[in-house]
Amino acid sequence: MKALVYNGPRDVSVNEVPDAKIERATDVLVQVTSTNICGSDLHMYEGRTGMQPGRILGHESLGVVIEVGAAVDRIKVGDRVCLPFNIGCGFCANCEKGLSGYCLTVNPGSAGGAYGFAGMGPYSGGQAEFLRVPYGDFNCLVLPRDAEEKESDYVMLSDIFPTGYHATELAGVQPGDSVVIYGAGPVGLMAACSATLKGASLVMVVDAHKDRLRLAEKLGAIGIDNTDGDVVERVLELTGGKGADRGCECVGYQCCNMHREEVPNLTMNNLVKTVKATGRIGVVGVFLPEDPGAADKLARRGQIAFDFGQFWFKGQSMGTGQANVKAYNRQLSRLIEHDKVKPSWIVSHELPLAEAPSAYASFDKRENGWTKVVLKPGQ
Amino acid sequence: MKEPIAFDDAADLLDADHKAVKTMFMEYTALCEDGAPAAVKRVLAQRICLALLVHAQIEEEIFYPQVREATGDEVLIDEAMQEHAEAKAVIARIQAMKGSDAKLDAAVKQLDALIEQHVLEEREQIFLNARQAALDLRGMTRQLLKRQQDLKEKFGAIPTLEAA
Whether B123 sits inside 8 A of A290 (CB atoms) is no
Residue A13 burial (10 A CB sphere; 0-12, 13-18, 19+)? exposed
Chain A residues lying within 8 Å of B124, measured CB to CB: 107, 121-122
User: pLDDT of B143-162, one tens digit each?
Assistant: 999 999 999 998 876 666 55
Whether A300 sits inside 8 A of B132 (CB atoms) is no
User: pLDDT of A326-336, one tens digit each?
Assistant: 999 999 999 99
Query: Among candidates A113, A134, A99, which has minimal Cα distance to A328?
Result: A99
Whether A108 sits inside 8 A of B15 (CB atoms) is yes
Residue-level pLDDT at B163: 44
CB count within 10 Å of CB A193 equals 28
Question: Partners of A64 in the beta sheet?
Answer: A31, A80
CA distance A106 to chain B (A): 7
Question: Partners of A271 in the beta sheet?
Answer: none
Report how far residue A304's alpha carbon sits from residue A270's, in angstroms, rounded to the nearest whole number. Answer: 13
Instruction: For residue B26, give the nearest of A50, A119, A301 by CB distance.
Output: A301
CA distance A247 to chain B (A): 32
User: pLDDT of A234-293, one tens digit each?
Assistant: 999 999 999 999 999 999 988 777 777 888 899 999 999 999 999 999 999 999 888 888
CA distance B6 to chain A (A): 14
Mean pLDDT of chain A: 95
- Mean pLDDT comparison of A106-115, A296-305, B60-69, highest-scoring range: B60-69
The torsion region of residue A31 among left (phi > 0), alpha (psi -120 to 50) and beta comes to beta
Instruction: For residue A122, give the nearest of B8, B12, B125 by CB distance.
Output: B125
- Inter-CA distances, B44 with A19, B40, B48, Å: 46, 7, 6
User: Is residue B69's pLDDT more than 50?
Assistant: yes
Chain A residues lying within 8 Å of B18, measured CB to CB: 109
Q: Predicted ipTM?
A: 0.81
* Buried/exposed code over A295-306 (b: 16+ C-beta within 10 A; e: otherwise): eeeebbbbbbee
3-class DSSP state of A23: coil
CB count within 10 Å of CB A97 equals 11
Q: Per residue, what are the HEC states of B81-127?
A: HHHHHHHHHHHHHHHHCCCCHHHHHHHHHHHHHHHHHHHHHHHHHHH
Task: Write out the E strands in A216-364.
Answer: 222-225, 244-249, 275-283, 317-320, 349-352
Report how far residue B39's alpha carbon sits from residue B23's, in angstroms, rounded to the nearest whole number. Answer: 19
- Start-to-end Cα distance in chain A: 13
Chain B residues lying within 8 Å of A110, measured CB to CB: 123
DSSP for A98-127, please give it.
T-GGG-SSSSTTSS-EETT-TTS-SPPPSS
Residue of B nearest to A51 (CA): B120
User: pLDDT of A29-78, one tens digit each?
Assistant: 999 999 999 988 998 999 988 899 999 999 999 999 999 999 999 999 99
